[in-house]
Amino acid sequence: MSGQKDALQVETQVLKATGPESLVQLARRPATPADFEVTLAIKKQALGPYIEQVWGWEDEFQQAFHSENFKPNSTTLLLHEGREIGLVEAAEEPDSFFIQSLLLTPEFQGKGIGTALLNEFITKALAANKSVRLDVLQVNKSALKLYQRLGFKIQNITELTYQLVLSAQHEVSNS
């Protein structure tokens, strides 16, 4: 955990999730460069099995890749009871919101948290008449199922990923 956490603005809210635990107390705070290790650990827990299937997980390579690609300014850490349990990395573009990463550690997956977070992006995008875009590894079937359930459509298929979009005319789903 970052030692700078207390000095940063932490926003706490009750997230209305739709899973077995209907309410989850979730705090958010902006990431800082000091969060490099914790964000890498979240990535390993949340994406590690999928990365392992596609390329194999090599710690040295993943650390170097994360070092080149970690963007604290566009990353928000998700906390439950003071512990980092996930992250969201997103950017607003002229015609869309691009979700680079929405990662939850395994014990917080399947509880409706991802759905609630995605619906926040969808609501914000619709209010701005923008679409929401994201990519998902083809092997991550559970994430693809979630995105499609919320109305995302496959826009393009690469060798390893599905590129999905939810148009600005979509209605928010609470399921």
Name the more confident of 73 and 17.
73
What pTM did the predictor assign?
0.84
Give the count of beta carbons closer than 10 Å to the beta carbon of residue 3: 8
pLDDT number for residue 1: 41
pLDDT number for residue 168: 78
Which SS3 state, helix, strand or coil, does residue 49 take? helix
**How confident is the model over 123-163, as pLDDT tens digits?**
999 999 999 999 999 999 999 999 999 999 999 999 999 99
pLDDT at 23 over 50: yes
- CA dist 162 and 134 (Å) reads 8
Find the mean pLDDT for residues 58-86: 95
Average pLDDT of the chain is 87
Q: Where are the domains of the chain?
A: 5-166
**How confident is the model over 86-108, as pLDDT tens digits?**
999 999 999 999 999 999 999 99
SS3 readout for 109-142: CCCCHHHHHHHHHHHHHHHCCCEEEEEEECCCHH
pLDDT number for residue 13: 54
Find the mean pLDDT for residues 38-67: 95
pLDDT number for residue 11: 60
pLDDT number for residue 26: 87
- CATH fold, domain 5-166, is Aminopeptidase (3.40.630)
